[in-house]
Amino acid sequence: MDNKDKKKIVFIINPVSGTQSKEQILAWVNERLDQERYDKEVVYTEYAGHAVEIAARKAAEGAFAVVAIGGDGTINEIARSLVHTETALGIIPCGSGNGLARHLQIPMEPKKAVDIINDGVTDIIDYGKINNVPFFCTCGVGFDAFVSLKFSQAGRRGPLTYLEQTLRESLKYRPEVYELEMDGNPSARYKAFLIACGNASQYGNNAYIAPKATLNDGLLDVTILEPFTVLDVPALSFQLFNKTINQNSRIKTFQCKSLRIHRTKPGVVHFDGDPMMAGEDVEVTIVQKELKVIVPRNAGKGSVNVLQRAQDYINGLKQLNETIVEDISHKNRMILDKGKEQIKKLTKK
């Protein structure tokens, strides 16, 4: 194929994010990418926000695709420059959460992700905006900003154990009263720990905060977690991984195109796990079908997805069991320590 007939594809690498060796991933790209079809360029980011500039420039030059090799933050930076363009977003997942990649059923194995890029099948998805800042997975207020930040840092350190600890920490967090106005309807008040708005279904690490969310229905999936007790923690944790959080009695879920959140004071919000400060009023909207993405040919259709879900379920059970064992042993250690203290006091008398 003549060089001018090849499709231009740009790989943007964030050298500091993620959990895997970028050089190894690049070696796989060089080995497996269809050189007959693609004219490849590799660019390294040098500072926060650099990927936004690179992706915007490459889209203006008419590249077929810009591929993110990095975590959810890198993906967000690249994707926000590709909305409303003809350039597709490609993903080789190597972050810790990988929320968008998992929702799109892009394999976590970089070699297989390169094969999907070779296929070049594209789809068009929605994206959201929180106070005009684009997000592609989730955004939120309240404890959600904290949870999502923790999740983006969880990596392979046992997400379920991590979530249990995070939810326990949330019991020290004071729930706030929020006024929510959906699609211009009269507002309703909720006392809540967190309000999460999903375009995609999960935070990453297969924790499904909005299990019914789809990327091309033109709707936000809103999840409200009302005040809960320590007794609710194991069920909430497990349901997040089992795609059944919406069945919990402490959870309220809604769908809408736009959401205005009013709170009593400014605070943190998050977009795709990145925190930012915002005022008392927070506006969340959905923009329908404006981002091209490279996706697996049979995404959502194959039995592989069923097998993957089964594996996720088994992993969830395993992690839940580990958490319970860890919790029991921690309590036993506390009892033993208290016992030792009592003995010391008695022997001193």
* Residue 72: band (very low, low, confident or very high) from pLDDT cuts 50, 70, 90: confident
Does 301 map to a domain? Answer: no
pLDDT digits (tens, 9 = 90+) for 208-238: 889 899 999 999 999 999 988 888 888 888 8
Residue 340 lies in a domain: no
Among candidates 200, 7, 30, which has minimal Cα distance to 110? 30
183 domain-assigned: yes
DSSP annotation of 83: T
Q: Do the Cβ atoms of 171 and 179 come closer than 8 Å?
A: no
Note whether residue 187 is domain-resident: yes
User: Could you report the per-residue pLDDT of 9-68, keeping only the tens digit for each?
Assistant: 999 998 876 556 788 889 999 999 999 999 999 999 999 899 999 999 999 999 999 999
pLDDT of residue 296: 94
Contact 294, 208 (CB under 8 A): no
- 13 neighbors 42 (Cβ within 8 angstroms): yes
Nearest C-alpha neighbor of 38 from the set 74, 68, 69, 65: 65
Q: What are phi and psi of 302, to 5 degrees?
A: -90, 165
Asked whether residue 41 is domain-assigned, the answer is: yes
The residue segments making up the domain with residue 187 are 133-289
In this structure, the answer to whether residues 53 and 156 fall within a common structural domain is no
147 and 229 within one domain = yes
Among the listed residues 91, 137, 164, 154, the one whose alpha carbon sits nearest the alpha carbon of residue 286? 137
Q: Is 317 a domain residue?
A: no
Residue 62 maps to which CATH number? 3.40.50.10330
Q: Which of 120, 142, 172 is the last residue of a domain?
A: 120
